[in-house]
A = this chain, B = another copy of it.
Amino acid sequence: MQLGLVGLGKMGANMRTRIQQAGHEVVGYDPRPEVSDVASLPDLVAALDAPRAVWVMVPSGEPTRTTVAQLAEHLEPGDLVVDGGNSKYTDDQPHAELLGRNKIGYIDCGVSGGVWGLENGYGLMVGGSDDDVTRMMPIFDALRPPGERADGFVHAGPVGAGHYAKMVHNGVEYGLMHAYGEGYELLCAEPLIDDVEGTLRAWTQGTVVRSWLLELLVRALQEDPGFSEISDYTTDSGEGRWTVEEAIRHSVPANVISAALFARFASRQDQGSPALKAVSALRNQFGGHAVTDTRGRSVGETGAPPTS
């Protein structure tokens, strides 16, 4: 089939390639003329045969909202828009309503797989009506991994369900990554372990903890032993925050995912942690604490036990 694709960045460009390799036609639009097939969004619409299908793959938030609003203006009844970005699920219903006023369909699709998706296929989580989803199945089938459709694709529910599922996916991803991170750190700290990278690599087959993320971790360590080139400054996309907010809304105890999120926050406090400054200040107030070494043993003067 024919697909319009808005956004030809790292993800969009790879997805275009994969869709084309499956035999579909893609007309791409991107504000950077050197990668774009058409000069403008109206040109994209004009270049497509009705009923059109347009996939939006631009940053979430304002850029996506603007793009959808423009499409609502230029598309026609019977056309269909897919938001494949990492939008917050609360944007989906407004998008569906805006487009629906012009009888344009709407699907939200969470896409996972990163730069590896071109080769491996992307995991897809979709929200929308049965009719709209059915209509897009050729594209979904082109994008998803080979093998059984259900292993890599789900029509999770109505509009919003796709981005919701993707948000939870990313929240889980936070937890998984941090669990491996803690294990890595503990292996590094223990003198008995001569071969940290080898230990992680051994875990990639046969063990309970084997996973694709673990394979990536081994690969990263092989490229940069000891992570000497890597900062511990870790950004976060919105999905981790949204996942914890949703956990709060639904009264779900999310201790693991929130711990992973908060660790990222802490990594960005370049002026130090105000909370820990308060703790330090308190200790000074009540104790004049003796200095202790990193094993918690008091190394203060004789006769001066740690006070508290």
| Contacting residues, chain B, for A27 (C-beta < 8 A) | none
| Contacting residues, chain B, for A161 (C-beta < 8 A) | 192-194
User: How many subunits of this chain does the assembly comprise?
Assistant: 4
A101 lies within 8 A of chain B by Cβ: no
A69 lies within 8 A of chain B by Cβ: no
| Contacting residues, chain B, for A52 (C-beta < 8 A) | none
A84→B263 CA distance, assembly (Å): 35
A180→B252 CA distance, assembly (Å): 13
How many residues of chain A get a CB closer than 8 Å to chain B's CBs? 173
Residue among A192, A220, A269 having the largest count of chain B Cβ atoms under 10 Å: A192
Partner of A123, one of B165, B205, B280, B288: B205
Interface members, chain A 172-208 (any B CB < 8 Å): 172-190, 192-195, 198-199, 201-208
| Contacting residues, chain B, for A236 (C-beta < 8 A) | 292, 296
A2 lies within 8 A of chain B by Cβ: no
Partner of A206, one of B144, B258, B297: B144
Beyond the given A59-B303, A237-B306, could you list 7 further A-B residue pairs with CB under 8 A, ordered by the A residue number? A59-B306, A156-B198, A211-B214, A251-B265, A251-B296, A255-B255, A263-B266
Q: List 25 A-B contacts (CB under 8 A).
A: A7-B305, A31-B302, A59-B298, A59-B302, A60-B298, A112-B308, A151-B202, A169-B209, A172-B209, A174-B179, A181-B274, A181-B277, A182-B254, A183-B257, A184-B274, A184-B278, A188-B274, A189-B251, A209-B213, A213-B282, A227-B274, A234-B283, A240-B296, A263-B266, A266-B266
